[in-house]
Amino acid sequence: MSALRDAVLGLLRVGDRATQVAQSLMARVRLYAEAVDVAEGVTLIGVPIVQRAPDSRIDIGPRVVLCSTSRATALGVAHPVVLRTLRPTATLSIGADTGISGATICAAVSVQIGARCLIGADAMIVDTDFHPLAPAGRRYAGDEGGIGSAAVVIGDDVFLGARCAVLKGVNIGAGSVVGCGAVVVSDVPSGSIVAGNPARVVGTVRGGAEKAR
Ligand SMILES: CC(C)(COP(=O)(O)OP(=O)(O)OC[C@H]1O[C@@H](n2cnc3c(N)ncnc32)[C@H](O)[C@@H]1OP(=O)(O)O)[C@@H](O)C(=O)NCCC(=O)NCCS
């Protein structure tokens, strides 16, 4: 009986591997079609959703891992990684060795993510409110000027917990940790642990930064 189970498991593994290879190829084609700048050693697990506004930039640094499937990550993900620039001149950059699981990152101005960051399952990083706050024009707005937007910067070695949200204008200092489900609306000092809604400092990270390669 266990020999049969082993054989079935082996077959499933072969199927999983074949799916992974096909999806990785599809992901490469998608990034190529969107003219995303992809450095060497990037790992694509599943197919991310990528949309680049004309004349904007999306850069993915060396050895970045984008995980868009639940099978490949302990927590599972609710959707593939989403990378979007929303306006011309917007920039979205992901630093070397950063790992991202099913997160959504949207840049209307600029979202800059440092090196060696961990972006937890289904985190959301956005630098815009997407719609004006005034009811007039909120539904069918054409005026980008009325939409609150400001650059987001996430320093090196930052750990974003699962399902947190980082909103417009936030600067997260190097080495910090953002708790699961936190809503970050203001700057986070380097080396802090923040949690809650709105996120507040609840602790300090011990230990130095990981050595860069
Ligand atoms: C933020 C976190 C790292 C803090 O861990 P910690 O340093 O051990 O902190 P503690 O458990 O001692 O909590 C410190 C305080 O913050 C609060 N807190 C901790 N995590 C919180 C959270 N996610 N939301 C709201 N409050 C939180 C605690 O209630 C406690 O408050 P108190 O001092 O008033 O009692 C941890 O709670 C967390 O969210 N881990 C999940 C990380 C994650 O999402 N991993 C998956 C990524 S794919």
- The beta-carbon contacts of 34-42 under 8 Å, at least 24 apart in sequence, are 34/58, 36/60, 36/83, 39/63, 39/64, 39/96, 42/66
CB burial readout 75-103, b (16+ within 10 A) else e = eebeebbbbbbbbeebbbbbbbbbbbbbb
Type of residue found at 94: I
CA–centroid distance, 191 to ligand 1, in Å, is 15
Q: Using CA atoms, how far apart are residues 103 and 188, in angstroms rounded to an integer?
A: 20
- pLDDT at position 59, please? 98
> What separation in angstroms does the CA of 207 have from each of 117, 191, 192?
16, 9, 12
- Nearest 5 degrees, angle CA 209-CA 200-CA 172? 40
Residue nearest ligand 1's atom 45 by CA: 161
Place of tokens 């997407």: 130
End-to-end Cα, the chain, rounded Å: 47
- pLDDT at position 138, please? 84
Residue nearest ligand 1's atom 8 by CA: 203
Write out the chain's pLDDT in tens, 213 residues: 699 999 999 999 999 999 999 999 999 999 999 999 999 999 999 999 999 999 999 999 999 999 999 998 999 999 999 999 999 999 999 999 999 999 999 999 999 999 999 999 999 999 999 998 888 888 876 677 789 999 999 999 999 999 999 999 999 999 999 999 999 999 999 999 999 999 999 999 998 666 555
* Per annotation, catalytic residue among 30, 57, 131, 200: 131
> In the chain, what are the domains?
2-211 (2.160.10.10)
Residues having CB within 6 Å of any atom of ligand 1: 75, 101, 120-121, 161-162, 177, 179-182, 193, 195-196, 202-203
- pLDDT at position 137, please? 80
Active-site residue 131, yes or no?
yes
CA–centroid distance, 211 to ligand 1, in Å, is 25
